[in-house]
Amino acid sequence: MSKVLIIDDDKDISELISLILKKENIESKIINDPIEALQWIKNINFNEDLILLDIMMPELSGTQLCAKIRDSVDIPIIFLSAKSEMIDKIIGYEIGGDDYITKPFDNTELLLKVKSHLRLNKRTNNSSKRKIIHIGEITLNIESYEVRKKEKKIDLSTREFELLKYLMENAGIALSKEQIFEDVWGSEYGDIGTVAVNIKNLRDKLEDNDKYILTIWGYGYKFVKNVSTDE
């Protein structure tokens, strides 16, 4: 279930928003004090998926709070404000907000925007998870350019890394040598024989023993999708 943090010093509006979200099976937490909200967000237990943030609050405005948390919080922030001038909206976006709802708001508009940003945030998180590919004992991190077998780091050349990534992304699919060469090497100088050379290098470094990279004789190679980790 998605979780929304409502930060608004108006208790009646906060309760109304919470009720609207509850009807859509969206859990919410209400904090009416921006200072308390700042402390909550900095707490290690903070795990909300979206923030609804009022702009006009005492002690600490919504824009000030947004500026203080944006570097450490990457979830969507939707501003709520009675101010409807374009300059106010521009400031909200520039300070780190993702959307802007003018009070008094339409309940349907509120729900549509909240759901839209929750979906987008979920897709983004799922995409981030795909930056790490794990098959059997091998873990490949696309962002850090690291490969590990169990906990042991495997040092690969850039080309070997790109080849392994390509094979793991297409695990379970028989790939021809021509297809591998075209997709990994592209138009760069070389010949198709370099595929076999780099496959051998990968096997040696991964201590593969044909456990992960299978040879399809007369055709190409296939990275095994389901690998037993039993020795």
3-129 belongs to CATH 1.10.357.10:
no
Count CB atoms within 10 A of the CB of residue 108: 9
Q: Which helix (H) or strand (E) holds 213?
A: strand 213-216
What is the pLDDT, as a whole number, of residue 127? 54
Phi, psi of 53 (to 5 degrees): -125, 115
| Backbone CA torsion sign across 144, 149, 155, 160 | negative
Rounded distance between C-alpha atoms, residue 109 and residue 116, angstroms: 10
**CATH level 3 topology of 132-223:** Arc Repressor Mutant, subunit A (1.10.10)
The pLDDT tens digits for 72-89 are 788 899 999 887 778 888
**One fold for 3-129 and 132-223:** no
Mean pLDDT for the chain overall: 87
If 0-12 CB within 10 Å is exposed, 13-18 middle and 19+ buried, where does residue 148 land? middle
What is the pLDDT, as a whole number, of residue 231? 44
Rounded distance between C-alpha atoms, residue 84 and residue 100, angstroms: 9
The pLDDT tens digits for 111-127 are 999 999 888 877 666 65
pTM over 0.75: no
The pLDDT tens digits for 117-174 are 888 877 666 655 567 888 888 999 988 889 999 878 999 999 999 999 999 989 889 9
Q: What burial letters (b/e) apply to 28-66, b meaning 16+ CB within 10 Å?
A: bbbbbebeebbebbeeeebebbbbbbbbebeeebbbebb
Find the mean pLDDT for residues 11-15: 95
Count CB atoms within 10 A of the CB of residue 181: 20
What is the pLDDT, as a whole number, of residue 229? 52
Per-domain residue ranges of the chain: 3-129, 132-223
Q: Which of 19, 4, 30 is nearest to 113 (CA)?
A: 4
